[in-house]
Chains A and B, each alone.
Chain A
Amino acid sequence: DIQMTQSPSSLSASVGDRVTITCRASQSISSYVNWYQHKPGKAPEVLIYGASSLQSGVPSRFSGSGFGTDFTLTISSLQPEDFATYYCQQSYSTPYTFGQGTKLDIK
């Protein structure tokens, strides 16, 4: 199975901050990485697919980069609605695996 190691596991930040979350795959997965936002009691939502493509309807302050084993999700200027848990996921091969999650809260 491909392991997705996500860091940090938690992060405190302020509105307007630039935030970066990283994900490392245990083997090369090309650009088959997706990023999701999950708020308590709600359905997760995809933000970025194919490592760097912005899902339709997602604000442009979210961006993704990376290829092979190392990937990054960046939020350029945090907004109040961005405080949530973020997950990376590889869709290169089954079993699809997720990172452990990064809980982003207000400093």
Chain B
Amino acid sequence: QLQLVESGGGLVKPGGSLRLSCAASGFTFSDYYMTWIRQAPGKGLEWVSYISHTSTYTNYADSVKGRFTISRDNAKNSLYLQMNSLRAEDTAVFYCARITTPYSQIDYWGQGTLVTVSS
């Protein structure tokens, strides 16, 4: 069945880096845009970034632009989020999710991985 499984979260010091991964299965990964969404503790959902089918198009929230890089490997059915210059306010559960087009709903989400930025 359809699965999105995030990994790579953990504790990192301010200014540090972390790379999140998302392994997709149960669907044709290369047919879909993919996106990252995050939720800070006790807060609502915040869209972070998306990437198109063949990586031609990417888009970022202003809060992460220049620090985070989204990428994908269709041969490995995997999505990534490279996070640099991490700040305390980046502490959140990060969800990998699937969208059909940039205007469509997020139709499937992973369970999330927790990133904690603290000294």
Interface residues of A (CB under 8 A from B): 32, 34, 36, 38, 42-46, 49-50, 55, 87, 89, 91-92, 94-101
Contact = CB atoms under 8 A, between A and B. Distances in A.
Q: Is the interface of A mostly helix, strand, loop or mixed?
A: loop
Interface residues of B, number: 20
A92 B45 CA distance: 17
**5 nearest interchain CB pairs?**
A49-B105, A43-B109, A96-B47, A34-B105, A98-B45
A8 to B, nearest CB: 14
Nearest to B46: A98
Contacts of B107: 46, 49, 55
Contact of A46 (B45, B50, B105): B105
Interface of B: 44-47, 50, 59, 61-62, 95, 99, 102-107, 109-112
A40 B35 CA distance: 21
Contact of B103 (A43, A55, A87, A91): A91
Contact of A97 (B47, B59, B95, B106): B47
B109 A32 contact: no
